[in-house]
Amino acid sequence: MNRIIYIIISFIGSLVLHAQDIRLITKEEVLNTVSENNSSIKISIEEFKRARADYRQTNAVFLPNITASHTGFSTTNPLMAFGSKLNQEIVKQSDFNPATLNDPSQIQNFATKFEVEQPLINIDGIYQRKAAKSKMKAMSLKIERTQDYLAFEVDKAYMQLQLAYKSVDVLEQALEAAKANKKLADNSFKQGFLQRADVLLIEVHVIEVQNQLQSAKSNVQNASNYLSFLMNNDDFTTYQPADSLTINTSITVNKTISENRSDIKAIQLASDAYKAMNKADNMTFLPRLNAFGSYEMYDNSLFQANANGYLFGAKLSWDIFKGSTRFSKVQKSKAEFEKSKLEYNQYLSQSKLELNKTKRLLVDTENKLNLSKLALNQSGEALRIRTKRFKEGLEKTSDLLMAETLYAQKQLEYYQTIFEYNYTLAYLEFLTKS
């Protein structure tokens, strides 16, 4: 007796624990969590930051380079020794003695120097900056499209969870009906109205429904785990949708592909970046003009500055010929630009092809939905009639089981078709989002 009570208490405790593990969740909650925690979005953000850093590096086209240095040395080199005295402004008449000039004593020189280099004309750098900016914008649009895709993926995953729970409900009802029929069959067998083979047939049917129900519960776990993955949640909670699976009538979609769609626009910007890089490679054949200047302080003691001077000027440099590297680089960037244009046109064409395919699929799914609803109603009515006749002893056991199986199958098919219709509608919205 105590063992029976212990088993009952343990069973109730496991049910309570299972109930605690199930968490009610709304689609809006999933979307908010995904937008904050999903790894794909975080990766896209880091890629954007990297592209932004590359763009900011191109500020060097306009901003100066400034360096500071302090150098000290000792020398008896005639030229260096005399030059150091000139820089320190300590040259005397006796220093012009040929013997002193040719064989000077050791002299120490300490120089503090500030140098500035300012780009004035750097046309290839300007086009490189344009390319980096286009890439940065493309990465920003990639974040937006990643968010759109994950919103669509959340729709699908949430609907899969709804479908899994609908399947569990259908099979639990089917199992309850199968058990009721088994009880009825057992009574009929005891009264001699049924053969043992009929009872065994119903028992097999009950086991089959139980196995299907277990598979449906596994699908609930699978759908919950995928939602946890999307939300970057490692505890893999079992979720239950706050609303049931119904035909979605709230989505309104456009009928055409917009070239302003974030992913299409990103590919266009990538092509613009290749175009700018090709122009930058062509501009390397032109000269560059840079201004430069320096302020210098000298002394024969460390960190002193009794003498100073400055220098400024401009430098026009022109790499007239560097083997054949620049010609090859221009050809390479030109090929990459032409390739990017072809890829853009191909991607746009594929998107339009996918849109037309999805439109047709939506019409087919809508027709399938209407048909599956009619089939569900017909199979439900047939089961009602056969169940009534079976209770009266006017129906074969095999026919009743077939009707039960068919009704459960049509219910599952109906909810599966609702999922397919809602999924196709959501995918159509994803394709036509601008």
Q: Where are the domains of the chain?
A: 22-63+122-284+323-432, 64-121+287-318
**What six digits make up the tokens of 256?**
């055409």
pTM: 0.81
User: Where does residue 310 fall: left (phi above 0), alpha (psi -120 to 50 degrees), or beta otherwise?
Assistant: beta
Residue 193 pLDDT: 63
* Beta-strand runs (E) in 39-127: 65-75, 107-121
Domain 22-63+122-284+323-432 is classified in which CATH homologous superfamily?
A: Outer membrane efflux proteins (OEP) (1.20.1600.10)
Residue 373's pLDDT is what?
92
Q: What pLDDT sits at residue 56?
A: 95
Contact 197, 277 (CB under 8 A): no
pLDDT-flagged residues of the chain (< 70): 1-20, 193-194, 253
Task: Give the mean pLDDT of the chain.
Answer: 88
Domain 22-63+122-284+323-432 identical in fold to domain 64-121+287-318: no
Per-residue pLDDT, 177: 81
- For residue 61, the tally of other CB atoms under 10 A from its CB is 15
Class of domain 64-121+287-318 (CATH, top level): mainly beta
Residue 188 pLDDT: 72
The type of residue at 38 is N
pLDDT, tens digit, for every residue of 250-294?
777 677 888 899 999 999 999 999 999 999 999 988 899 999 999
Question: 């009619």: which residue's tokens?
Answer: 374
Tokens for 423, please give them: 């999924």
The Cα–Cα gap between 227 and 240 comes to 11
Query: What's the rounded Cα separation, in Å, for the pair 92 and 266?
Result: 70
> Six-digit token pair at 400?
């009743």
The predicted pLDDT at position 194 comes to 65
**How would you class 64 by CB atoms within 10 Å of its CB: exposed for 0-12, middle for 13-18, buried for 19 or more?**
middle
Using CA atoms, how far residue 403 sits from 188, 197, 215, 384, 391, in Å, is 19, 18, 21, 9, 14
DSSP string, 142-172: HHHHHHHHHHHHHHHHHHHHHHHHHHHHHHH
